[in-house]
Amino acid sequence: MDLKAAIDSIWECTNQGIYYPPEWKGKLSVEEGYRVQLGLLDRYLDTGERHAGWKVGLTAKAIQEQIGFHEPVFGFLLERDRRTSGVVISSEELVAPSFEIELCLTVGKSLQGPKVSLQEANAAVTVVQPAFEIVEMRGDFTADFSLALADNVQQKFYVTGEPVPVDGAQADLSQATVEIFINGERVDAASGSNVMGGPAASVAWLANRLADFGRGLEEGVCIMSGSFTRQYPIAQGDVIEASFDPYGKVSAEFS
C-alpha cells in the first residue's frame, strides 16, 4: 500500500466534501486506516489548525451493539471543532447527525505507551467536562471499517460544559452518572462504569494504542472518553441536554 498516495487522495476528497471515496473502498487494512487518519491530522496541522486532543469511540456495550463493532477506536480532535455548552448548531452543517454522551478529560501530564496502567491514566486526569460528541454518518461505518477510521470515525464537533478541576488520583470516574434529555424528555441514564469499566480506562487504552504509531498523549490534551450510551439521532429543532453527577450539565440546540 502506498500510504502517501492514499493520504493525498483522501485529503483531496475530504476537502471536496467527498467521504468514503469509492476508489479506496476495501483497499485499506485497519492499521492502514489509522495511518491515513494520522496522516490527515498532520495535513491539518500543516495548514495551521490546532490539535486539541483525541476521541475514543465504541467504549460502551450499547454502542458496540448498535454499530456492530466490538473494540474501541480512536480519532483526533481539532480546536476548530470545539463548541461550548448552549451552542446553536445549524442542521445544514451536518450530514446524518447523531450525538454521543461523554466526559471530556484533560490530562495534566504526558502519557506514553505501550504500558500505561489504569492507575497512571486515572492519576493524570486534572479536568473533567460534561460533553457531547456530534457525529455524522458520512458513509457505511460497518461496511468498510478501515475507511471509517481514515474518515476520523464520524467526528464532526464536540460540545463541552464548564471545566471541573479534579485530583485524578482520588477521582473515581466510573461512579459518574448521567441523565439524557431530548426536547425536555428524559430518554436514558447511565454510569461511567459503562465506559470500559470507567472513563480512565479509555485514556489508558488510547495512550497504549497510540504507541503503536509512535505517538503519545501530550500534557494538556483533552480526550473524549467514549459514550456512556448508544448514539441518538439529531433532528432539526432538537434541544439536547445531559446532566452529569457530579460534573454538571451540557446542552446544545439544532436549528
> For 100-156, what is each residue's pLDDT tens digit?
999 999 999 999 999 999 999 999 999 999 999 999 999 888 889 899 999 999 999
In the DSSP assignment, the letter for residue 102 is E
Cα separation of the two ends of the chain: 43
Mean pLDDT of 48-52: 98
Mean pLDDT of 244-251: 98
Torsion angles phi and psi, residue 121, rounded to 5:
-65, -45
Mean pLDDT of the chain: 95
Q: Can you tell me the distance from the alpha carbon of 160 to that of 131, in angstroms, rounded to the nearest whole number?
A: 4
pLDDT tens digits for range 206-232: 999 999 999 999 999 999 999 999 999
Residue 36 counted as domain residue:
no
Domain span including residue 67 = 51-254
Q: In this prediction, what percent of the chain has a pLDDT beyond 90?
A: 90
CA angle 94, 30, 115 (to 5 degrees): 105
Residue 24 counted as domain residue:
no
Cell numbers standing for residue 165 = 478541576
pLDDT tens digits for range 170-180: 999 999 999 99
CATH code at position 77: 3.90.850.10
Residue 84, pLDDT > 80, answer yes
Residue 127 counted as domain residue:
yes
Mean pLDDT of 177-185: 98
Q: Can you tell me the distance from the alpha carbon of 130 to that of 113, in angstroms, rounded to the nearest whole number?
A: 26
What ranges in the chain are assigned the alpha helix state H?
3-15, 30-46, 61-67, 118-124, 145-150, 199-210
Structural domains in the chain (count): 1
Q: Can you tell me the distance from the alpha carbon of 196 to that of 82, in angstroms, rounded to the nearest whole number?
A: 24
Residue 241 counted as domain residue:
yes
pLDDT of residue 68: 73
Residue 152 counted as domain residue:
yes
Out of 66-70, 82-86, 225-229, 234-238, pick the least confident.
Answer: 66-70
Residue 87 counted as domain residue:
yes
Q: Can you tell me the distance from the alpha carbon of 251 to that of 170, in angstroms, rounded to the nearest whole number?
A: 28
Mean pLDDT of 152-175: 95
pLDDT of residue 168: 86
Residue 8 counted as domain residue:
no
Dihedral, 93, 98, 99, 100 alpha carbons, nearest 10 = -140
Residue 31 counted as domain residue:
no
Torsion angles phi and psi, residue 173, rounded to 5:
-65, -20
